């Protein structure tokens, strides 16, 4: 299992807006550069992008909850 960590502190979101679906579901393919979530810092939204390929396992950080830099926010089942 490969961990995806938060690059900075803020509020982590699984989806681009409350009305839209989450970025990734379990078993979705993840490619380098895919957005897997957003972090809000002082009303600015920063996309969290995958740096490796793999199969999405799940989100480990709760939606709309605070995270710190280095917190594990999601996991991939494998990577290439």
Q: 47-78 burial, b if ≥16 CB within 10 A, otherwise e?
A: ebebeebbbbbebebeeeeebeeeeebbebee
Residue 15: what pLDDT?
97
Domain ranges (residues) in the chain: 2-79
**16-73 confidence digits (pLDDT tens):** 999 999 999 999 999 999 999 999 999 999 999 999 999 999 999 999 999 999 999 9
Q: Which class would CATH give 2-79?
A: mainly beta
For residues 64 and 49, is the Cβ–Cβ distance under 8 A? Answer: no
* Confidence (pTM): 0.91
């Amino acid at each position: 299992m490969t961990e995806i960590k938060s690059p900075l502190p803020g509020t982590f979101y699984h989806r681009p807006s409350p009305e839209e679906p989450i970025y990734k579901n379990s078993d979705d393919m993840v490619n380098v550069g895919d957005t897997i979530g957003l972090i809000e810092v002082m009303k600015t939204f920063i996309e969290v992008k995958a740096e490796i390929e793999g199969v999405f396992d799940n989100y480990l950080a709760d939606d709309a909850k605070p995270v710190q830099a280095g917190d594990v926010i999601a996991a991939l089942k494998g990577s290439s």
